[in-house]
Amino acid sequence: MNTSESRDDLILSSFVVGPMHSNCTIVADPESRLGMVVDPGGDAERILREIEGLAVSVEAIILTHVHIDHVIALGEVQQRTAAPCYLHKGDRFLWDRLEAQFSRSGFSFIPGTVPPRWLSDSDRLPCCNGAVLHTPGHTPGSVCLWFEEHKLLISGDTLFHRGIGRTDIAGGSFKHLEKSIVESLFTLDEQTEVITGHGPNTSIGDEIRMNPFFGEVMR
């Protein structure tokens, strides 16, 4: 799913990258042109071309979680933009194992720099009046990025179109994921557009009504 919008209130570009077809998203303020890259999951040159084409200055790289399919291009994008990378400390154990993740998957490892600080729930993002929502479950440090005034959510692998993130891998917990979605995401405005970590966009209202994992919970 590719999304590209230059609105009065927001610059937004989301596109599929990497061998595992992750969605990388660029969000920026249309006046200052300051923005951020979310989940650089591969195809560094494509991401860098998009940044250049949008005439955006990257202030931060945000990881919704630290699985290899969301970080393959991190090192190269960091080197070229000099932007700091941020993630939640709950995924520190995955960050510390990144080189091993790359080695097992056969990808060349270009290390990113250690985050200058760790993300926490309710932290303000560097542009567009966004905020961090800590949504553990897929991983302990999974986060979503919430732009209330724009009715936009970047959900990473927490919530998908008619699906949810896996919980059968290291640090995963269905109980925590269910709680995160019901209490943190399904309480948002139903008109909120959701850019997921993989696959098509959706909306909070559609997932409340149609997501098969939550039909019984929400009735």
Calculate Rg over the CA atoms of the chain.
Answer: 16
CATH 3.40.50.720 fits 3-218, yes or no: no
CB 132 within 8 A of CB 119: yes
Parse the chain into domains and list their residue ranges: 3-218
Give the pair of three-digit tokens for residue 93. Answer: 């154990």
Which pTM does this prediction carry? 0.94
Give the pair of three-digit tokens for residue 184. Answer: 């943190």
> In the prediction, which pLDDT does 218 show?
45
CB 188 within 8 A of CB 13: no
**CA angle in degrees (0–180, nearest 5) for 141-160-148:** 70
The string of pLDDT tens digits covering residues 182-218 is 999 999 999 999 999 999 999 999 999 999 998 544 4
Q: Where is pLDDT greater, at 3 or 101? A: 101
Pairing of strands 163-164, 159-160: antiparallel
The string of pLDDT tens digits covering residues 101-157 is 888 888 888 888 889 889 999 999 988 999 999 999 999 999 999 999 999 999 999
